[in-house]
Amino acid sequence: MTQAQLARGEAASSADPLLAVRDVSVVFGGIVALNGVSFDMKRGQILGLIGPNGAGKTTLFNCLSRLYQPSKGDILMEGVSILTRPPHKIAEVGIGRTFQNVALFPNMSVLDNVRVGMHAHTTSDIISDSLKLPWVRRSEAAINRNVDEILAYLDLTSVGHAIVSGLPFGTQKRVELARALAAEPKILLLDEPAGGLNHEEVYVLGDLIRRIRDERGITVLLVEHHMGLVMSIADHVVALNFGRKLAEGTPSQVQSDPEVIKAYLGSKDQ
């Protein structure tokens, strides 16, 4: 698909990229955090975004969830720019996310956390809600059915009524995943999902991410430090360093790229 077609926003077929990052730059008061980064994400792909600390991974992630405004470039979801949307209008185009250190609603139950995940796909107003009108009851019943299904899928049914702040970290991460899935995203952005997990938990997580892609057809963008996880589940890897794209390709291609090795291990003459 050419740039011109993208600009016209033509109906995307399955071969077109689901998400296209086009020449994105971000500058923070003179410091260039991202410098002309471009890549495509195909439907059904698990894309791993890697790079050493300060490479710009989180900056890019925050551009995708609209917390940062790129100074240059564009981000297209199914051929349409998302950069004119405020952060709360991102969920409805099908972009869901989790956060680096878990950003749940700590004083709410697991059920309520996941119910909030469906906010973008439901409607209500305060008067109908206060009076619990029949259509509010119907919509709540639909929400509950969906939430029950997701909790069962992620093996969280037994903790449904528990308050999130009292749960172990690993469980909280799964709750966050459940909340993101409740929004029925087309693309799921995972910000360092393996952080704080032990070896076995990382293995289980990798399996889960693959299952989410295979069974629910969700495209996954994985920002991760844990090389083992990225290399084992990603179909495609993009490596960043100092805000630039260093390499792109299959995991094995990227792993053997001399530039990537240099960025991670340092070169002899340094």
Partner 1 sequence: MSTIQETAAEAHPANIDVPSKKNMGLGRTASWAMLIVLALLPLFVRNFVIFQMTMLLIYAIAVLALNILTGGSGQFSLGQSAFYAIGAYTAAILIEHGGVNYVLTLPAAGIICFAVGFLFGFPALRLSGIYLALATFALAVAMPQLLKLGVIEHWTGGVQGLVVTKPDAPFGLPMSQDMWLYYFTLVVSLAIYIASVNLLRSRSGRAMMAIRDNEIAAAAMGVDLSIYKTLAFGVSAGITGVAGALGAIAVQFVAPDSYTFQLAIALFLGMVVGGVGWLPGSLAGAAFIVFVPNIAEGISKGLSGAFFGVLLFVVIYLVPHGARQGAIYAETLFNKLKRS
170 scored as a contact of partner 1 (CB under 8 A): no
Write out the H or E segment, with its range, that includes residue 47.
strand 46-50
CB of 126 to partner 1, least distance (A): 5
Residue entry with tokens 């296209």 = 20
Q: Which of 19, 41, 47, 90 binds partner 1 (CB under 8 A)?
A: 90
The answer to whether the CB of 234 falls within 8 A of the CB of 23 is no
Is position 32 an interface residue for partner 1 (rule: CB under 8 A)?
A: no
Of 209-228, which residues contact partner 1 (CB under 8 A)? none
- Shortest CB 75 distance to partner 1, Å: 15
Return phi, psi of residue 124, to 5°: -170, 170
Nearest to 43 by CA among 178, 213, 247: 213
Nearer to partner 1, 99 or 242 (CB): 99
Query: b vs e for 30-42, b when ≥16 Cβ sit within 10 Å of the residue's Cβ?
Result: eeebbbebebbbe
As a whole number of angstroms, the distance between CA 65 and CA 72 comes to 16
Binding of partner 1 by 69 (CB under 8 A): yes
State the angle between helix axes of 110-117 and 134-153 in degrees (0 to 180), rounded to the nearest 10.
110
Candidate ranges 12-20, 106-114, 196-204, 253-261; the one touching partner 1 (CB under 8 A):
106-114
Q: Does 157 bind partner 1 (CB under 8 A)?
A: no
CA 50/CA 186 separation, integer angstroms: 22
Q: Which of 9, 54, 132, 152 binds partner 1 (CB under 8 A)?
A: 132
Q: Which amino acid is at 130?
A: S
Q: Which of 120, 137, 119 is nearest to 128 (CA)?
A: 137
Q: Which of 35, 38, 65, 157 binds partner 1 (CB under 8 A)?
A: 65
The correct pick among 44, 73, 74, 119 for binding partner 1 (CB under 8 A) is 119
The answer to whether 71 contacts partner 1 (rule: CB under 8 A) is: yes
Binding site for partner 1 (CB under 8 A): 27-29, 62, 65, 67-69, 71, 86-92, 96-97, 99-109, 112, 115-117, 119-122, 124-126, 129-132, 136, 139-140, 143, 161, 163, 165-166, 179, 183
